[in-house]
Amino acid sequence: MCGITGYIGGEAALPILLSSLKKLEYRGYDSAGVALLDGGDILVRKTKGRISVLEEKLASEEKTEAKTEAETEAKTEAETGGKNVFGANAGIGHTRWATHGEPSDVNSHPHTDEADSIAVVHNGIIENYLVLRDWLYERGVSFRSETDTEVIAHLVTYYYQNEPEVNPGTGLGTRNILGAVRRTLSRLQGSYALAIIAAGYRDRIIVARKDSPLIIGLGRGENLVASDIPAILSRTREVLFMEDGELAVLYRDRVDLFNEQGNSVTRPPTHIDWTEEAAEKGGYAHFMLKEIHDQPKALQDTLRPRLRRSGDKPVDIDFDEINFDPRWAKRDRVVIIACGTAWHAAMVGKYAFEELARIGVEADIASEFRYRNPLLAPGDLVIVISQSGETADTLAAMRLAKKNGCHVLALTNVVGSTLSREADTVLYTWAGPEIAVASTKAFTTQLMCLYLLALKLGRIRGCLDEGNFRRCLAALEQIPGQCAELLAKQDVIQRFASRQFNKTKVFFMGRQYDYAVSLENALKLKEISYTHSEAFAAGELKHGPIALVDKTTLVVAAATRVSLFDKVVSNIREVSSRGASTLVITWEGESAFTKTADEVFFIPAPLWEDDKTEAAGQNRFRECFSPILSAVPAQLFAYYCSIQRGNDPDKPRNLAKSVTVE
């Protein structure tokens, strides 16, 4: 997730771009950059770090420029070069959340072609960029950065120079920048929101969108483009929301909009009356709620680039990015280390690795692991999970594993984090920045990555036949859409929270995967609502926890193991008869709990193609992925309880987003 912006009009573009970028900084802050159209030139200024770092660099440039101007008063503009980022009236800008290539000056956007005649800012992921890079190499192009975006600038130049559009009447070719951009887009697989400027075309900005947000702000004598509404609100409240596949050309006094087929489209703008603060959160009241709603996209971004397809069906998992070593599949044991929510992901991973790959997992809390004398052997695979990649205990545990000669595979959300730099190999969750302290989309995308690893290892080890492997991939592919379906029903949870928020004790229980996700569900509630909440394996109920159950208790059961439903029904009866209120999270279409629980929240069940395996008991696999979905209602429940109690869910008391000290 990155933020992009663009301005064309009568005023100096630079301050407008910088102020827009600041409104988009929540989308990423690894680096920032701008490209301005001044005369016939493109002037790029970019740097690693936050927008404030870019501003500082520009301020010192402005000072030097003012001095030089005074010294060369007599010279004409032509003599001094006339290159001025401060006076340009058109430009594009970017704030980066690094995905391909570490945060650095050279990997910062905008990216340009070799002659700096095309500049591009991009939000999204070009999935086939390596293929395109090779194609361009063969044609003599050299690259400066490690990013996926740079191929776009080179492709536009390539098509502009080599494939002029031929006029059918005259048979003559004319160079056409829009045609070159269209040809480029036709080569891209993946997601993008793009803004492109070209040196010979100072009167326009070309923009396009596919699976990444992009809006156009319509001003008076000026037009703007941005990833999100807050970036343009100080200039205009009239907005065109771009649709997937659309392309537009922004001029100072008009906008030409085209659909995927290249036909011109018109539609009235939408008037926005949000406050600027509400707009920054995408109109959501809090970052946490926004991030809960980001999950369908975050899951999609994490999954899709890693699925290899035949036709429209996923047939394999592509792990080239981590130099997936098939020797890992020879090991019967994996260690997974993490803290907090990430450790709960490790607990789900334990069940997944055991079930799908028949590999034993030790899911270890980093602060425990680092002070034990753990049994590690050279070559052991140690997976270290951390959203931030900066948690002190997790880093210490990783270093201990490395010291013992283990191979450390990091699972993190932050490119360039300490964990990503020190691990032997890195698998990224492409969730985009997580701002709210309580982790939501990082957790579900961590699960997605762990399932992919477990499935890949399981296939190599022969624990999954081709049919079940492909069914599992198809089931995973349904999850982003199912998550969106769930979120559309959030009012059910909101109403439930408004009745239950003042319970003094909330217990979360489940068996196997449902136990692992209950650990996370209990943590979410306690950290933002300050309600005492605990999780336990449902089978443990009678071994202690039931002593605490009374009328002030709510019990939330996750129940997605169909073969264990009877046991959960008994557990629900046991707590209900002692006065507890109950909520069950289970599969859509299941009626097992409707008579016993006070409330049932349904999660969508996977469509399981060609399911002839039920008799053989193999349909257990279809239940494996439930934690990604059953975490979502619990996140919403925690959020709404926090609101009902008058708390700020984004900034819970005593907690910090990243625990960088012990």
Binding mask 602-641 for ligand F6R (x = CB under 6 A): ----------------------------------------
CA distance 228 to 395: 35
User: How many residues in the shown chain lie near ligand F6R by CB under 6 A?
Assistant: 15
CB of 310 to ligand F6R, least distance (A): 35
Q: Is 657 a catalytic residue?
A: yes
What single string gives the DSSP state of each residue in 195-217? EEEETTEEEEEEEEEEBS--EEE
Beta bridge partner(s), residue 248: 207, 257
Largest Cα–Cα separation, the chain: 93
Q: Which among 115, 116, 100, 98 is positioned nearest to 45, based on CA atoms?
A: 116
What angle (nearest 5°) sits at the alpha carbon of residue 446, between those of residues 328 and 279?
A: 155
User: From the list 439, 468, 586, 635, which residue makes contact with ligand F6R (rule: CB under 6 A)?
Assistant: 439
User: From the list 391, 429, 553, 642, which residue makes contact with ligand F6R (rule: CB under 6 A)?
Assistant: 391
For position 438 contacting ligand F6R by CB under 6 A, the verdict is yes
CB of 52 to ligand F6R, least distance (A): 24
Token reading at 383: 């997976």
- DSSP letter, residue 121: E
CA distance 368 to 23: 40
Give the CA distances from residue 435 to residues 288, 298, 430, 628, in Å, rounded to whole numbers and listed in that order: 8, 14, 14, 20
For position 418 contacting ligand F6R by CB under 6 A, the verdict is no
Q: Which is nearer to ligand F6R, 26 or 159 (CB)?
A: 26
For position 388 contacting ligand F6R by CB under 6 A, the verdict is yes
CB of 647 to ligand F6R, least distance (A): 14
Residue 213: count of CB within 10 angstroms of its CB = 21
Stretch that binds ligand F6R, among 264-272, 315-323, 385-393, 480-488 (CB under 6 A): 385-393
User: From the list 18, 299, 342, 464, which residue makes contact with ligand F6R (rule: CB under 6 A)?
Assistant: 342
CB of 278 to ligand F6R, least distance (A): 24
Q: Which among 612, 369, 567 is positioned nearest to 471, based on CA atoms?
A: 612
Phi-psi region of 658 (alpha: psi -120 to 50; beta: other; left: phi over 0): beta
CA distance 214 to 92: 13
Stretch that binds ligand F6R, among 97-105, 187-195, 386-394, 469-477 (CB under 6 A): 386-394
CA distance 250 to 257: 9
Q: Which is nearer to ligand F6R, 446 or 581 (CB)?
A: 446
CA distance 554 to 542: 16
For position 386 contacting ligand F6R by CB under 6 A, the verdict is yes
Q: Which is nearer to ligand F6R, 106 or 392 (CB)?
A: 392
Stretch that binds ligand F6R, among 37-45, 122-130, 380-388, 611-619 (CB under 6 A): 380-388
CB of 341 to ligand F6R, least distance (A): 3
Three-class SS of residue 94? strand
CB of 342 to ligand F6R, least distance (A): 4
Q: Is 57 a catalytic residue?
A: no
Active-site annotation holder among 2, 339, 449, 641: 2
For position 394 contacting ligand F6R by CB under 6 A, the verdict is yes
H or E, element range at 16:
helix 13-23
Q: Which is nearer to ligand F6R, 411 or 483 (CB)?
A: 411
User: From the list 265, 315, 396, 659, which residue makes contact with ligand F6R (rule: CB under 6 A)?
Assistant: 659
CB-based closest residue to ligand F6R: 340
Stretch that binds ligand F6R, among 27-35, 279-287, 384-392, 580-588 (CB under 6 A): 384-392
Three-class SS of residue 633? helix
Q: Which is nearer to ligand F6R, 340 or 633 (CB)?
A: 340
For position 647 contacting ligand F6R by CB under 6 A, the verdict is no
CB of 343 to ligand F6R, least distance (A): 8
What single string gives the DSSP state of each residue in 304-355? GGGEEEETTEEEEE--GGGT--GGGGG-SEEEEEE-HHHHHHHHHHHHHHHH
What angle (nearest 5°) sits at the alpha carbon of residue 98, between those of residues 423 and 426?
A: 20
CA distance 512 to 321: 31
Q: Which among 344, 335, 273 is positioned nearest to 521, based on CA atoms?
A: 344
For position 346 contacting ligand F6R by CB under 6 A, the verdict is no
Tracing tokens 């499935």 back to the chain, one arrives at: 455
Report the DSSP pairing between strands 201-210 and 190-198.
Answer: antiparallel
Binding mask 280-319 for ligand F6R (x = CB under 6 A): ----------------------------------------
Q: Which among 108, 105, 110, 151 is positioned nearest to 127, based on CA atoms?
A: 151
Compute CA 621 distance to the chain's CA centroid, rounded to the nearest angstrom. 26
Helix axes 287-303, 441-460, angle to 10 degrees: 20
CB of 517 to ligand F6R, least distance (A): 14
Token reading at 439: 């982790």
For position 387 contacting ligand F6R by CB under 6 A, the verdict is yes
CA distance 553 to 278: 35
For position 340 contacting ligand F6R by CB under 6 A, the verdict is yes
User: From the list 4, 21, 339, 525, which residue makes contact with ligand F6R (rule: CB under 6 A)?
Assistant: 339
Could you say which residues in the range 504-533 bind ligand F6R, by CB under 6 A? Answer: 523, 527
Q: Which is nearer to ligand F6R, 125 or 419 (CB)?
A: 419
Token reading at 642: 């926090």
CB of 97 to ligand F6R, least distance (A): 15
For position 444 contacting ligand F6R by CB under 6 A, the verdict is no
Report the DSSP pairing between strands 31-38 and 41-48.
Answer: antiparallel
Active-site annotation holder among 402, 489, 505, 657: 657
For position 341 contacting ligand F6R by CB under 6 A, the verdict is yes
Three-class SS of residue 412? strand
CB of 441 to ligand F6R, least distance (A): 11
Stretch that binds ligand F6R, among 268-276, 340-348, 374-382, 542-550 (CB under 6 A): 340-348
Q: Which is nearer to ligand F6R, 414 or 572 (CB)?
A: 414
CB of 453 to ligand F6R, least distance (A): 17
**Which residues are catalytically annotated?**
2, 657
Residues at the contact surface with ligand F6R, assessed by CB under 6 A: 339-342, 386-388, 391, 394, 438-439, 523, 527, 658-659
